[in-house]
Amino acid sequence: MHKEFEDLDVTVLSMSTDSHFVHKIWQEEELSKMVDGGVPFPMLSDGGGKIGDLYGVYEEMAGVDIRGRFIIDPDFVIRAMEVLTPEVGRNPKELLRQIKAFQHVVATGEVTPSGWEPGDVTLTPGPALVGKVWEQWKP
């Protein structure tokens, strides 16, 4: 789904505590068999977990970064994060939906209700909305 992220002007990076040598082998021996040509985005190394520690995902006892994903806006503000243990995979479709919602919010000043998809009803925040969300949003 990398093309869909590119179309939204999103930069995708992956990172783990593995070395760039491990990433190279993983790309060649595993990922290239799942995705034609392997993953099309950079795989960064967080040896020692300094970056993972800053983001709250470094597990010092195990020496690894816990699986997580972060939506970071152009001003370097973390807008969303999800951290999962390895046995449950992440959902790139939901990630794309959230990115579209954040981009819509920034562009319009509107807010997006739960499960919002482009074209769905949005809400305009302010005092007039208090106690009347139910009139505009029908889940």
pLDDT per position as a tens digit, 54-95: 999 999 999 999 999 999 999 999 999 999 888 888 899 999
Confidence (pLDDT) at 78: 95
- Number of Cβ within 10 Å of residue 15's Cβ equals 18
Residue 123 domain-assigned?
A: no
Residue 25 domain-assigned?
A: yes
For residue 139, what pLDDT band results from cuts at 50, 70 and 90? Answer: confident
Once rounded to an integer, what is the mean pLDDT over residues 38-43? 92
* Structural domain of 40: 1-66
Q: Read off the pTM.
A: 0.86
Tally of domains in the chain: 1
Once rounded to an integer, what is the mean pLDDT over residues 7-23? 95
For position 3, which CATH number holds? 3.40.30.10
Residue 83 domain-assigned?
A: no
For residue 136, what pLDDT band results from cuts at 50, 70 and 90? Answer: confident
Give me the chain's average pLDDT, please: 93
Pairing outcome for strands 78-83 and 68-72 = antiparallel
